[in-house]
Amino acid sequence: MDERIPAALAEIGADAWLAYDFAGSNPPVREALGLAGVHLTRRFFYFVPREGDSWLLASALEADHLAHLPGKVTPYRRWEELVSALGRAVERWPRLAVTLSPGGHVPYLARLDAGTADLLRGLGAVLLSDAPVLLALARWSAEDLAAHRRAAAGLAAARDAALAFLRARLPDAPPTELEVQAVMVRTLKAKGLAFDHPPIVAFGDHAASPHYAPDPATDRPLAPGEVILLDLWAQEPGRPYADITWMAGWTPPPEAHRAFKAVARARDAVVEALRKRSGWRGFEIDRLARGVLEAAGYGPYVLHRTGHSLGRRSPHGDATHLDDLETKDTRPLPPGLGFTVEPGVYPGPFGVRSEINLYLTEEGPLVTTDVEAKLEELVPP
């Protein structure tokens, strides 16, 4: 048993952690159990108690695929056998930590379907959120941190290659978004890094859409007076992602410079708050950063949360997010977690965002990426 699990279960008064999945319905659990790449099409229920041995209930078709999990294995063929076994498990461990989110506040935790929840409650189970268990298992190792920092260095190299390419083409032959994107993709691949989607390159009004992605239908060259938003992410396979956003421009307007200064103040306020004390929760940090932007008059133009945890399956992980806008993430920010800080405002006809990565140590936050001081002008005004 992972030694972090009993302490997390004790924190919420649970008798056992029930790791449940059906055909990939619960990615956080599959990742925690080392099953991310295992092909499974049937339900399994894996009970990890505070004390004693674990117990796996799995389809007889697939029990051998899960044989590496510690503890006893009980295969089932008929659904009646499964329900009977679940009843015995609930009698032994009535208070179960499962992947659910009361009220649906944190969708990343809302993985247990309503029907299975009804089944377990009908057998007498009390269901609790397994958020503390998943947070404990999400903490990075020293090897994870080292791999993340190498990925961050690769992102910096790709960003620098893109900016050098832009400078070389301006002002006479401005490149298109897809041309700049291709430069970054080549650099990331040359560094041996993987990513689930090519980087974002957004010029001018495209940058006012936070998740804009260039394609042949929208691709166009940079024009004078426009901002440039570069958002790129990558990982060493199986390790935590790094994820940054960098701003530049071809003589961008004063309004864009003012907006970036506000975004940078919000970003830096988060780092300072985490340095001053521990014990913050995700929603509190989001409120703090958004307060800076609202005080500067940008409240209506904040379209997304302040940051997200850094995952292994994708840049957006399942641990605590800095969010009291899209969701109310009440989870804590314990040492061992990595996440982004990326306040942004999108007033149009431009948008600006500044994104850094933090890793929380026992002593405070460690900034693992470059920090942009000002919106960079690629052509002297």
d(CA 258, CA 281): 29
**Class of the 142-377 domain?**
alpha beta
Distance (Å, rounded) from C-alpha 177 to C-alpha 175? 7
Average the pLDDT over 79-105 and give the result. Answer: 96
Would the pLDDT of 184 be above 90?
yes
From the candidate CATH numbers 1.20.1250.20, 3.40.350.10, 3.40.50.300, 3.30.300.30, the one assigned to the domain spanning 4-138:
3.40.350.10
> Does the pLDDT value for residue 71 go beyond 80?
yes
Indicate if 142-377 has the same CATH topology as 4-138. no
Separation CA 197–CA 205 (nearest Å): 21
Q: What is the pLDDT of residue 103?
A: 87
C-alpha radius of gyration, the chain, whole number: 23
Q: Mean pLDDT over residues 133-161, rounded?
A: 97
The 10s digit of each residue's pLDDT in 215-240 is 999 999 999 999 999 999 999 999 99
Q: Please, which pLDDT band fits residue 1 given cuts at 50, 70 and 90?
A: low
How far apart, in whole angstroms, are the C-alpha atoms of residue 197 and residue 249? Answer: 24
The answer for residues whose C-beta is within 8 angstroms of residue 39's C-beta and 6 or more apart is 65
Name the residue among 63, 18, 65 with its Cα closest to residue 38: 65
Extents of the domains making up the chain: 4-138, 142-377
Which pLDDT value is given to residue 380?
75
The share of the chain scoring above pLDDT 70, in percent, equals 99
Mean pLDDT of all residues in the chain? 96
What 3-state DSSP class applies to 332? strand
Whole-model pTM: value is: 0.94
